[in-house]
């Protein structure tokens, strides 16, 4: 009886497709109004192609400076519910494009969140990666791909890279109303160490080897 139930459920899911989830959440206080103007934060969040282990959901958290109001960008990856897979390098390496319309102002990437299904991990202390957003502009913050290290206190981290041309083409196809992307310089990305690292940075080699199972 149980086997039959799951067989029917699988068939129904196959016919109906997976439930598509939004890649972003934005608190109402940060959403643009008719008088505020709008600035866009754009990037990709997902799973690093070479990692052996990954979380069900990987998330970036952004807030307005001096406020508890926040926005998030995520890739959710389960059989029955997922965010769109806008980028795919391998069966494992996938990414979700996010486009956040926000009120102009001073913002910061301040934390990350990894949901493993039975547990959730994040940075115990907030960090600060500042962003000054002006009305009428779209800011590209890069590609954030996550992987997990099983058996270590630091279970997951993001590797950051830049694919402006690829992601600008995705934005033009999906969001033609968004102005041309400009790269946002983030020189203080290292304040998020060890939860965010430059994929090709000087200290990333050992982490990439561990994520891929070579160490």
Q: pLDDT tens digit string along 12-32?
A: 444 345 668 999 999 999 999
Token pair belonging to 96:
């979700």
Q: Residue 115's closest CA among 154, 86, 88, 76?
A: 76
Examine residue 125 and state whether it is found in any structural domain, yes or no.
yes
φ/ψ bin of 93: left (φ > 0), alpha (ψ from -120 to 50), beta (otherwise): beta
Q: For residue 4, name the pLDDT band (cuts at 50, 70, 90).
A: low
**Counting Cβ atoms within 10 Å, is residue 31 exposed (0-12), middle (13-18) or buried (19+)?**
middle
Q: What is the CA radius of gyration of the chain?
A: 18
pTM of the full predicted structure? 0.89
The structure tokens 């990666």 sit at 129
Give the residue, 173 or 82, on which the prediction is more confident: 173
- Residue 70 inside a domain? The answer is yes
134-146 average pLDDT score: 98
pLDDT in tens, 86-95: 999 988 899 9
Compute the average pLDDT of residues 58-70: 97
Share of residues in the chain with pLDDT > 90 (%): 75
* Residue from 63, 47, 65, 43 nearest 55 by CA: 47
Residue 6 within a domain: no
CB neighbourhood size of 169 (10 A) = 12
For residue 154, the model assigns a pLDDT of 53
Please count the structural domains in the chain: 1
Pick the range with the lowest mean pLDDT from 4-18, 42-56, 177-191: 4-18
pLDDT-wise least confident of 36-50, 68-82, 149-163? 149-163
Residue 3 burial (CB count, 10 A): 7
**Domain of 142?**
18-211
Mean pLDDT across the chain: 90
pLDDT at position 8 is 44
pLDDT at 7 over 80: no
Tokens of 95: 């990414």
Is 57 among the domain residues? Answer: yes
Mean pLDDT of 50-60: 95
Whether 181 is in a domain gets the answer yes
The answer as to whether 67 is a domain residue is yes
- Which is nearest to 115 in space by CA: 69, 94, 161, 146? 146
Q: How confident is the model at residue 38 (pLDDT cuts 50, 70, 90)?
A: very high
- The answer as to whether 8 is a domain residue is no
Taking the CA atoms of 28, 30, 31 and 37 in sequence, report the sign of the dihedral they define: positive
Residue 9 lies in a domain: no
């Amino acid at each position: 009886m149980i086997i039959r139930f799951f067989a029917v459920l699988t068939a129904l899911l196959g016919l109906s497709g997976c439930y598509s989830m939004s890649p972003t959440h934005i608190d109402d206080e940060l959403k643009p109004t008719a008088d505020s103007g709008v600035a866009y934060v754009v990037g990709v969040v997902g799973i690093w192609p070479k990692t052996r282990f990954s979380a069900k959901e990987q998330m970036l958290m952004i807030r307005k400076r001096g406020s508890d109001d926040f926005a998030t960008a995520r890739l959710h990856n389960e059989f029955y519910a997922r965010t769109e897979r806008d980028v795919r390098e391998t069966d494992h390496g996938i990414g979700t494009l996010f486009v956040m319309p926000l009120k102009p102002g001073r913002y910061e990437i301040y934390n990350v969140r990894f949901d493993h299904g039975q547990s959730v991990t994040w940075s115990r202390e907030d960090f600060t990666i500042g962003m000054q957003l002006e009305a009428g502009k779209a800011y590209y913050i890069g590609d954030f791909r996550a992987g997990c290290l099983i058996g270590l206190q630091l279970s997951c981290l993001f590797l950051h890279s830049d694919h402006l041309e690829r992601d600008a083409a995705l934005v033009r196809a999906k969001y033609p109303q968004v102005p041309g992307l400009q790269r946002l310089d983030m020189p203080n990305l290292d304040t998020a160490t060890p939860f965010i690292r430059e994929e090709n940075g000087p200290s990333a080699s050992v982490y990439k080897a561990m994520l891929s199972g070579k160490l």
